[in-house]
Amino acid sequence: MIDIPPYPPLDPSNYDLIVVGTGVSESVLAAAASSSGSSVLHLDPNPFYGSHFASLSLPDLTSFLHSNSVSPPPSPSSPPLPPSNNHDFISVDLVNRSLYSSVEISSFESEILEEHSRRFNVDLAGPRVVFCADESINLMLKSGANNYVEFKSIDASFVGDSSGELRNVPDSRAAIFKDKSLTLLEKNQLMKFFKLVQSHLASSTENDDSTTVKISEEDMESPFVDFLSKMRLPPKIKSIILYAIAMLDYDQDNTETCRHLLKTKEGIDRLALYITSMGRFSNALGALIYPIYGQGELPQAFCRRAAVKGCIYVLRMPITALLLDKETGGYKGVRLASGQEIFSQKLILDPCVTVGLESLSSLTDQQNETLSVLVPKSMINKEKIARGVCVIRGSVKANVSNALVVYPPKSLFPEQLTAIRVLQLGSGLAVCPADMHVLYLSTLCDNDDQGIKALLSAMSNLISLPVPENRQSDSVVENDTSETKPILLWRALYVQELVKGEFGGTISSMPSPDGNLNYNEIVESAVKLYEKLMGSEELFKEETSPAENTTEEENDGGVEIED
């Protein structure tokens, strides 16, 4: 339990909106609501900004994962009590559910890491990058949050397999013709496909059907993998497009295990994001960028924007109970861990905050309806994501510091059902000391064992694991270049539950970090909730002036990207 500092009572005690948690979605909403003139109180039980999107030192990451991987025991069942001196309300106790399981943290060079432990900025929800044409970038430019964060380019993208070879992703005309792993026929096939996609996108933009080639409506509704086969693309090229450019997770060739069979229309949209990201900013080397000091800078940027607009921030302040109207059952406010009662029109909660089931039995139907978005849903068919963080000495690819590696389904072992993504980041991004790199790994999974097995396989393919790790030899793939592999210094493995957001009118719950590489769906959920909360009012409508736009065009579109 976090020690609550002796805060003075908050004044005022009434707000339009209370937001609990400083993750990306919550911070975007707080900034947008503050910019629209709403009074906002933004709370976080943690001593840092970012919640599940935070970037932390190694000790802080270790502490957070351990403290959030075991749910606290439920309090004894008892009827809800009215708040002191006010019999118009009842209070319903809240509990925190754990998002994390199977947490395993290992240090193999303790003395070195202890010396530098505070020089790390390690992401909780990695791997994650920003596409240059990502909706999060557009929102930052519109809100002015871009003034509080800087980026650097991801140098290269690769596709890996069980042999240990990392092949460049041919994502541009120049990259295609430089790629020595492609035959001349494969290069021509890939160029022809990209030209078709660009022609289709141009015709869609210009609304001109007469002079440009478009993909037929029938093809657009067909599975994307079937359309790629129709284009006579060989399996190697199909795999690159599906998993390293469109960034799909599930095996599109296996309809029995594929939970999301992508249509061509969605596939073209994903390619459009990648293509429009290439060259959007002059200083960006490719489609992908990453915030200096870690992804935790993104929610902080929106929090700073919200503070400028009058949002009040209090860290280390959990809420312990909800206040409901005794007669109508409607939401009225919250009780802070300090004991103070704060009231608001609307409430937005972190995905960890929920209501204990034992508290619901003594409530009326109207009160239960108000709390329905906070009741934990069934765990049946619940998706999870396995995440890994490695600190290594050396690089997975010579002369490359910041890189993305994708292992398509079945590329490491036959039972690999989903793609595995690996992001390597170096000291130029201020995430680790100069002679080290940080690796982030993730893969979607049905259960913890399946996810951890996949991550260990990718780790073994890329880095030198300590000798005892070879006990996993039945499920881990070694390659033939072990003498050149970087050395593992520290590692964290954990599995995160994927929780969807819930909108309930007066009380809403935000989603957990998803399994995507970018922020599009996270930002989209925040925008949709804002529209429901605020009606037709435009998001950040007065934040960017024409004069600022002129400056932005001269300054790489308003996004600061270091060379």
Q: Each residue of 89-131: pLDDT tens digit? A: 888 999 888 999 999 999 998 888 888 888 999 999 999 999 9
Q: What are 73's two structure tokens? A: 């025991």
Residue 498 sits at φ, ψ, to 5 deg, of -95, 110
Q: Which residues contact 237 (CB under 8 A, 6 or more apart)?
A: 182, 186, 189, 190, 193, 228
What is the distance between the alpha carbons of residues 227 and 220, in angstroms, rounded to a whole number? 8
Pairing of strands 507-509, 560-562: unpaired
Residues in the chain, pLDDT under 70: 1-5, 70-87, 206-212, 357-359, 361, 376-381, 467-483, 536, 542-558, 563
Q: Are 17 and 344 in contact (CB under 8 A)?
A: yes
Scan for tokens 């949709």, then name that residue.
528
SS (H, E, C) 186-220: HHHHHHHHHHHHHHHHHHHHHCCCCCCCCCCHHHH
| DSSP letters for 372-413 | GGGSPPP-TT--EEEEEEEEEES-SSTT-SSEEEEE-TTSSS
According to the model, what pLDDT value does residue 175 have? 84
Strand partners for 453: none
SS (H, E, C) 264-278: HHHHHHHHHHHHHHC
According to the model, what pLDDT value does residue 228 have? 95
Amino acid present at 257: T
Q: Is 243 in a helix, a strand, or coil?
A: helix
Q: What dihedral angle (degrees, nearest 10) is formed by the CA atoms of 107, 113, 118, 124?
A: -30
Scan for tokens 């609990």, then name that residue.
20
Q: Is 9 in a helix, a strand, or coil?
A: coil
The pTM of the full predicted model, rounded to 2 decimals, is: 0.90
8-state DSSP, 312: E
Fold held by 172-277: Guanine Nucleotide Dissociation Inhibitor; domain 1 (1.10.405)
According to the model, what pLDDT value does residue 208 have? 55
According to the model, what pLDDT value does residue 401 have? 95
Q: Each residue of 471-488: pLDDT tens digit?
A: 444 444 444 444 589 999
Q: Are 70 and 62 in contact (CB under 8 A)?
A: no
Contacts 24+ apart (CB under 8 A), 410-414: 410/251, 411/159, 411/160, 411/161, 411/162, 411/239, 412/160, 412/161, 412/162, 412/454, 412/457, 412/458, 412/461, 412/477, 413/162, 413/457, 413/475, 413/477
Class of domain 14-75+86-97+294-380+499-534: alpha beta
Half-sphere exposure of 473 (CA within 13 A, CB side): 5
Nearest CA to 455 among 351, 384, 402?
384
Q: What are 182's two structure tokens? A: 């492609």
Domain ranges of the chain: 14-75+86-97+294-380+499-534, 172-277
What is the distance between the alpha carbons of residues 553 and 532, in angstroms, rounded to a whole number? 33
Q: What are 557's two structure tokens? A: 């579109």
The terminus-to-terminus CA distance of the chain in angstroms comes to: 43
Q: Is 354 in a helix, a strand, or coil?
A: strand
According to the model, what pLDDT value does residue 419 have? 97
Nearest CA to 383 among 493, 496, 492?
496
According to the model, what pLDDT value does residue 557 have? 63
CA 539, distance to chain mean position in Å, is: 21
